[in-house]
Chains A and B, each alone.
Chain A
Amino acid sequence: MKRVTAALAILLLAGPPARAFTVEVKDTSGESVADAVVYAVPLGADGAALREPPPTAIDQIDKEYVPYVTAVRVGTRVSFPNRDQIRHHVYSFSEAKTFEIPLYQGTPREAVLFDAPGVVVLGCNIHDWMKAYVFVTESPYFSVTDGEGRAILGDLPARGYRFEVWHPRLKGPPSATATEVSVGDPARETVTIVIDQKQVWRPRRAPGAGDATYR
């Protein structure tokens, strides 16, 4: 009896059970959108005690950033391991985080602290085509869509949320994608958000007869 009472007490203290929730992101033609950041903003006061976000990494492999899009919470430290046998020069001029890691190999000793929300665009000063994005959010609930356009937000406490989507090609602000959903309803564990996309350019990597060489 004491054990049952203790279990009930733990459940009451912990609040409603957390559950995974799936968000599908499609474009206006119905195609799945990969590399979209989906984040959930609790409606009303959250009250969740936030732990320090775990560090993460963005690799450089075969002269490309991997992954192309990374979502992190404000306060996350990101390292930039260079897996290539050549040197890269990572930089960002974005307002949310301006930094530069001059030419290096291996993993820099200091990770970069992303301490303000916003979009951070990464470049490489040697290989102009290298581009990646870091989306820094204040919400602890976020994920990035896979190749099928699905983002799974795990451990989402049952309550109401405003889901928003950001993507490098998103036309308009993320708030334009806002969709309010009540998480906890067993009949609804998936929501689809449609986003409008624009063309985003980056320098072409393939050789061309007329292009200026970078070497």
Chain B
Amino acid sequence: MRAVVKGALLVAAALLLASPAGAEWVEWIADAGLAFEWDDNVNRSAFDADEVSDFRWRPAVRGGRIYQLTDHTRLSFAAELEGALYHDWDGLNHFRAGGTAAVLHKFGTGPNVPTLRFHGTVGYLGISDHERSSVLYEAGIQLSKRFSPRFDAAIDVLYSDRDGRNGTVVVPTLGTDVWDQANVEVGAVGNFLITPQILASVGYRYRDGEFDSACTPGNVATVFAREGSNVEAIAIDDVFGGCVYRLDGHMHGALVNLSYGLSDHLSVDLGYRFQHGKARSLAYDTNIVTLSLLFRY
């Protein structure tokens, strides 16, 4: 996986160096956002009684440049910095700093011509609870198409790999590398203009791979009874006070978002995401509501 990301970055650099005459830097990327989010299961517990909810602020900035390789192909480099400040669970406060290289190709001229985008990202996730801090790798491919001025849609495949630290031992026979997680994700989203200012988005995502979940002294026996060897790692959880484990499963996610354009560069968005994760036996449900202000230069 990491080789894929590194390969993507190398390809981007090679494209830049081998670009044809006339290719040049053409456009800046300057984005910013501030989101206020409510998450009803920040510890991703499989047990309703143990779920904890919280609010968080999520500021984000992104800057970069676009290099035009040909009339229909562009290469972009962007640096990203995101943060999250939790209202109650400040051990989860974090920042994510990273860089993305992307190649975007439009298959011709016109508004309805499909576009293919590859990207590779490397980032660092720094969390107040240092054991959770990780290096992140991501590579994705997205195919998007506009069907009319009011409607466009995209499908994508995303590979992500999180390389974390080892935690404190709970079960001597199991590893503590709870934060080493790899996932493959596929998704589809459709965007529909309700009015010239209001954009409605509806999406679905399916993820297959590893995720973490909090456990307590009261439910950890149930976790092992129902998941058995699917619990791949377990460690002491310094944030929620119990334990945290990694297991393999899949997740279905649905999202809806309403975006109101305040100007050509600014919008206010209200979104809702529902995630239903399923391992061998246990299920993990999360509801997330996001109110955000987005700026794009």
List residues of chain A with CB under 8 Å of any chain B CB: 86-87, 89, 91, 93, 100, 102-103, 123, 125-126, 128, 201-215
Contacts and interface: CB of A to CB of B under 8 A. Distances in A.
Contact of A201 (B191, B196, B201): B196
Given A87-B68, A208-B199, A201 B115 contact: no
B173 interface: no
A91 B109 contact: yes
- Where chain B touches its partner, the secondary structure class is strand
Interface string B193-220: 1001101011100000000000000000
Interface of B: 26-29, 31, 66, 68, 71-72, 74, 76, 102, 104, 106, 109-111, 113, 115, 117, 142, 144, 146, 148-150, 152, 154, 189, 191, 193, 196-197, 199, 201-203, 255, 257, 259, 261-267, 269, 271, 290, 292, 294-296
A210 B142 contact: no
A201 B203 contact: no
Given A208-B257, A212-B142, A201 B149 contact: yes
Nearest to B155: A212
Contacts of B261: 204-206, 208
A207 B268 CA distance: 9
- Where chain A touches its partner, the secondary structure class is loop
User: Which of A93, A203, A205 has the largest count of B CB atoms less than 10 A from its CB?
Assistant: A203
B193 A125 contact: no
Contact of A209 (B29, B259, B265): B259
Contact of A208 (B66, B110, B259, B264): B259
Given A103-B68, A125-B72, 12 more contacts: A86-B27, A86-B28, A125-B110, A128-B146, A203-B149, A206-B264, A209-B259, A212-B117, A214-B104, A215-B27, A215-B76, A215-B104
Contact of A89 (B71, B144, B295): B71
A100 B110 CA distance: 10
Contacts of A201: 148-150, 193, 196
User: Which of A100, A128, A209 has the largest count of B CB atoms less than 10 A from its CB?
Assistant: A209
A212 B146 CA distance: 10
